[in-house]
Each structure stands twice: as C-alpha cells, then as structure tokens.
Amino acid sequence: MVISPKVSLNLSVDILNDYLKSDNLHVELLIEDSSSDPEKALNALKKLHEKGVMVVIGPSTSEEAAAMVPYANENDMLLIAPSSTAVSLSLDDNLFRMVPDDKNQAESLALLMKRQNITEVLTVYMDDEYGSALNAGILEKGSDPAYGFRIVGSIPYDPKLS
C-alpha cells in the first residue's frame, strides 16, 4: 500500500500535535502545490511567509529550491527538501536536504557498479538540473580507472516527456 505525501504529513502533524499538547503548542499543515514549477514554488513560499510560516517541507526539485533559497535566506525561513540534490545548492543556507547531493549519489553509484563488475555504462538521463548533474558525476567517475568502468554513451531526454 502506498501512502500519499499529504496523508503521511497529516498523520505526522497529528502525532506532533499530540506530543506538543502538554506544552500548549500546535502545528498546522498548510499545503501549496507548485506543480514542480520554480516560479510557482517561489510564489507559494511568499504566500506562506505572508501567513507567518517559518518552516516549509519542500521543495521537491532542485530547480524549485534554487528559486526559493534566496527568499528563504532573506526571510529566515527553513526549507526541508525531501528530494533536492543539486550540488549547486550545497551551501551554507536555510535549505536542509533529506537526501545526498548529486556528487555523493554519483560516487555511490560508481562504487556499486565497481562492486558488481560493470565495465561499460550507457547513461540515459533526464535533461534537467538533477539528471545533468548526476550524469556529469557518473561521467567523471567513468573516466577514473579506479572504478573499472567506461562510459560508452550518454543520452539525454526532455523532462517534459517523463
């Protein structure tokens, strides 16, 4: 059974509010949908800030995060990103990410390919910030003889087609 993010967030808020009840504290869940669009994400962040929100779970993509981080920094808001991985966002800022960045993911994938004795790799990647950065990391590892594989080709595809 798959639980939607909205359902799991509502459950988490209920649990948190039960915990905070004795301290007379309460957390409210406000949801904005950016449709993974950086401009919509920034507008949603501004709207949440106007409502007094200081902690945001999101954004989902690195493109959204890149658009939102400057505003979050300027307004002392915390962004908790469940899936933002761009190395360019690995800065001292108000973005806390829940997953390793692309560089660390590429390193892990290269080590896995080495362990599995994979010698030739064709990368097929989404041509966006995430896919391009992860692909670049794999290409870099493929040029290092220590990993034992070589890149035989790279094929980007339009993110709108996925």
Domain 5-99 and domain 103-161 have a common topology = yes
CA atoms within 13 A on the CB side of 11: 6
List the chain domain ranges: 5-99, 103-161
The model's pLDDT over 68-124, given as tens digits with 9 standing for 90+, comes to 999 999 999 999 988 887 777 777 788 888 888 888 999 999 999 999 999 999 999
**Cα 25 off chain centre by:** 29
Say whether the peptide bond before residue 59 is cis (omega within 30 degrees of 0): yes
Residues 149, 138, 116, CA angle at the centre, nearest 5°?
Answer: 45
Residue 141's pLDDT is 95
DSSP 3: P
More confident residue, 46 or 1: 46
CATH 3.40.50.2300 corresponds to the domain 103-161: yes
Whether pLDDT at 54 is above 90? yes
Kindly state the average pLDDT of the residues 145-161: 93
Confirm if 81 and 95 have CB atoms less than 8 A apart: yes
The CATH H-level superfamily of 5-99 is Response regulator (3.40.50.2300)
* Least reliable range by pLDDT among 4-8, 20-24, 54-58, 123-127: 4-8
pLDDT band at 6 (very low <50, low <70, confident <90, very high): confident
Q: Which of 1, 27, 105, 119 is nearest to 62 (CA)?
A: 105
Whether pLDDT at 25 is above 80? yes
Global pTM?
A: 0.71
Confirm if 57 and 68 have CB atoms less than 8 A apart: no
**Cα 7 off chain centre by:** 20
Q: How far is CA 61 from CA 3, 17, 36, 138, 150, in A?
A: 20, 28, 7, 20, 29
Confirm if 89 and 97 have CB atoms less than 8 A apart: yes
